[in-house]
Amino acid sequence: MAIGGAPGVVDQAGFAGYFPHINFESFHVADIVRLPLQLLWLLLLAVISTLKKRSWRSSAPKMTVPGSDTLLGFLRRGWSAVLQQGLDLRGILSKSTDFIVKRVSLTVVRQEKFMGLMEHRPTQFLIYAFLVLVLMSFILTPFSTFGQVVFSIVILSLTILFRNVPGHLVSLAMIVMSLAISTRYIWWRLSSTLNWDHPLDLIWGVLLLIAEVYAYVFLVLGYFQTAWPLHRKMVPLPEDEQLWPAVDVYIPTYNEPLEVVRSTIYAAQGIDWPADKINIYLLDDGRRPEFEEFSAVVNIHYITRPDNRHAKAGNLNHAMTKTQGEFIAVFDCDHIPTRSFLQTTMGGFLKDPKLFLVQTPHQFYSADPYEKNLFTFRAAPNESELFYGLVQDGNDFWDSTFFCGSCAVLRRSALDEIGGVAVETVTEDAHTSLKLHRLGYRSAYLKIPQAAGLSTESLSSYIGQRIRWARGMAQIFRMDNPFLGRGLSLMQRISYGTAMLNFFSGIPRILFLTAPLAFLLFHAYVIWAPALTVLIYVLPHIFHAILAKSRLQGKYRSTFFSEVYETVLSWYIAWPTTVAMFNPKKGKFNVTAKGGLILDDYFDFNIAMPFIALIVLNIAGFAAGIYRMMYGPENEVLSVVFNLIWTFYNCLMLGCTLFVASEVRQVRVSHRVQINLPAMLKTANGFCLQTHTEDYSQGGISLAVSDDVAVTIGDKVHVSLWRGDEEHTFVAQVVSQVGGALRLQWIFDSIHDQRAYIQCTFGRADAWIHWSDHILTDKPLIGMAQVFKVGAVGYWRMFIKIPGIDLIQAMVTRMGATLVWMLPKTPKTMEYIWK
């Protein structure tokens, strides 16, 4: 039989067309297998083609189930009606909710007008006593299962309804509702859920209960700490500059490169303050000749000492013996101050002689390891946003703002009274504040960013910094406990205590990550209660806490990504805090590295190893839970499912830690700052363009330009920037022009140009005011979905970085390609079959 062509003649080209993947002119040994496979495939295609051409297939009567068309039509019409009714109902609910929100908002506004009554102490006492009695009745009154469900639903409905209603009174109401639900849960746990008859159940149950009590106490204290942020306003200075005090600016350094320190010095020289009343000191604990030489060139003071005793605290105290300024401004060597720093902070000192501290936020213009590795820089709040955006502002209401080591001004006479900066612990800043608050001095916090610095580049450096903070706070808690001793108000004790207890979260977090394994692996009941009862107490407690904290902290905290921060730190702060409680003198000060590079992507197995161990345990527990659900007692199925969900969530959270441990390449010597500033571009041919910056760094700048700007790579141009009304012009070289952005590299002719540039950009008074404005408010459901995604991808990022996996991956890829190469192919003349 001929295939194409004249009868009896075999068309060689046509024959080869049925074997498109085989080269008959260069026969391969594998074609011994490929030829028979292709023949079988052609036979199958011929059968399918014949069946499709049969006339009976199109002419035969349609075989249907009697009434199926009617049923399907009914279902289709019913579903469309349901969708339409759902849309109508959604519109009605939306309008009803808007109406209720407006009415509640009006009520809240009216109620807040009568808050003046709260200024009278007898009224305060009566109202608070009544509220406490009502709250206690809710907490202690036993409910049936149905009653607990109704109570939880009512409170949850009120929380959801009030969540978007403006007004501080509503926030307080949500706090009260959250406290009611959570306190009722803890009371139930303490009074009804421990199995005293089974030792294993009791041990695991008590451990989990300790973790939950810690979380509850921290929740309550956190509510008190942040319930009423002060939002302090700046105190203006006298018009007569002769009344302005003398200020010493301290810039301590140890092992940081000069490139990092140089910009801070340039910006400090641009601070708007009378020249005869400001002195800048570089405190070099590294005793480096190039730093001393640079200080002489830029005309600032250089101070060093023969040893590094007491680290940063010792460095500051030594400088105090060499200087005389009435006030001391402290900046870490990477924190670049704005020109308005002293004019913003000094007014309060002249008004209040007992004011010892004015602290401003620590702003960061580079991504920390979480933001860099998770790609959330300036898209979600980072860890410091909560502390400097809300916590310190809440502390300020209770006069318990504490020194954070940088971006602050201190009164020298107050420091002299306690013998200088505290040296007993490695968190000298907070301990110094605690000592001065005990003596009756006051502090202030201005939530106006007046300086910005670098975040740590690597996860290991970040964790090292947090370990020092955790050890230091535990040392203070052990040696100078704020809940003990004299001189502090109740709320000052709570504020300091909350700050310290935050760093004891390591062990409770590890317990939460392993608690379901007690049941799945050892059949120990950590909560001795029916699964349904557990759910109707646990879920309202969790949901209300999430909603209330999202309401209070939504601008400064991402609910679930904050969980990632705490999970990563848990293992590494658990041991230092425990050791510090028993031996507070153990441990040493470690300097946080800044300005480093990460040359290649890599997975930090050293950091991730504890979490990999926890993952293995959780996977083992999950497998045991699946087995128990299939073959275990039927009355335990709901308990097993509950613990499996808990374990699955833990695995996702641990997957996020793997994602963070996968370090992303960072080779920029100077970080870009995405801020729009007015600028003027001048080319060599006399062309001028009024434009603005897309971003800038210490080494270059990007300008917004049109495509018709006649410049080429390598051209030299002039760029004008402004510092107030002063215009400064700098020389730059064109690097590239892409997408309407002209990228330039600076060519500074002198130190004067470098200093002027820093003062025109990083040192502007308004440089960081709107830096965080575009960060989205926390949405818990969206955040949880993102954590699910990140957690899943985290496992893959670890897998592809396993040593030797690239070779295995290459082998699998090659085998897959070979398999695809061996498979039969459909000839083009037969592709109609699939249409």
Per-residue b or e along 801-818, where b marks 16 or more CB atoms closer than 10 Å to that residue's CB: beeeeeeeeeeeeeeeee
- Euclidean distance between CA atoms 324 and 328, whole angstroms: 9
Q: Is 419 left (phi over 0), alpha (psi -120 to 50) or beta?
A: left
DSSP H or E stretch at residue 726? strand 726-738
DSSP H or E stretch at residue 718? strand 716-723
Residue 689: CA count within 13 A, CB half-sphere: 21
3-state secondary structure of 692: strand
- Euclidean distance between CA atoms 833 and 49, whole angstroms: 6
Q: Are 182 and 545 in contact (CB under 8 A)?
A: yes
Burial class (CB in 10 A: 0-12, 13-18, 19+), 279: middle
Residue 624: CB atoms within 10 Å: 21
- Euclidean distance between CA atoms 693 and 757, whole angstroms: 13
Strand partners, 507: none
């879920």: which residue's tokens?
539
Q: Give the residue among 213, 210, 148, 221 at the shortest CA–CA distance from 186.
A: 213
- Euclidean distance between CA atoms 804 and 101, whole angstroms: 59
What single letter denotes the amino acid at residue 819?
L
Residue 740's alpha-carbon distances to 463, 688, 720, 736, 752, in angstroms, are: 40, 16, 19, 10, 31
Residue 592: CB atoms within 10 Å: 18
């202690």: which residue's tokens?
140
What's the full length of the chain, in residues? 835
φ/ψ (deg, to 5) at 194: -105, 135
Q: What's the count of helices (H) and strands (E) in the chain, helices before strands?
A: 28, 18
- Euclidean distance between CA atoms 405 and 357, whole angstroms: 11
DSSP H or E stretch at residue 494? helix 490-501
Q: Are 250 and 243 in contact (CB under 8 A)?
A: no
Q: Is 486 left (phi over 0), alpha (psi -120 to 50) or beta?
A: beta
Read out DSSP for 44-63? HHHHHHHHHH-THHHHSPP-
What single letter denotes the amino acid at residue 496?
Y
Task: Give catalytic residues, as residue numbers.
Answer: 285, 429
Residue 680: CA count within 13 A, CB half-sphere: 11
What 3 state SS string does 732-780 have? EEEEEEECCEEEEEECCCCHHHHHHHHHHCCCCCCCCCCCCCCCCCCCH
- Euclidean distance between CA atoms 11 and 4, whole angstroms: 6
Q: Are 626 and 647 in contact (CB under 8 A)?
A: no
Residue 10's alpha-carbon distances to 18, 24, 612, in angstroms, are: 13, 15, 65
Q: Are 247 and 273 in contact (CB under 8 A)?
A: yes
Question: Tokens for 251?
Answer: 């810039």
């040296």: which residue's tokens?
423
- Euclidean distance between CA atoms 308 and 312, whole angstroms: 8
Burial class (CB in 10 A: 0-12, 13-18, 19+), 668: exposed
Q: Are 819 and 620 in contact (CB under 8 A)?
A: no
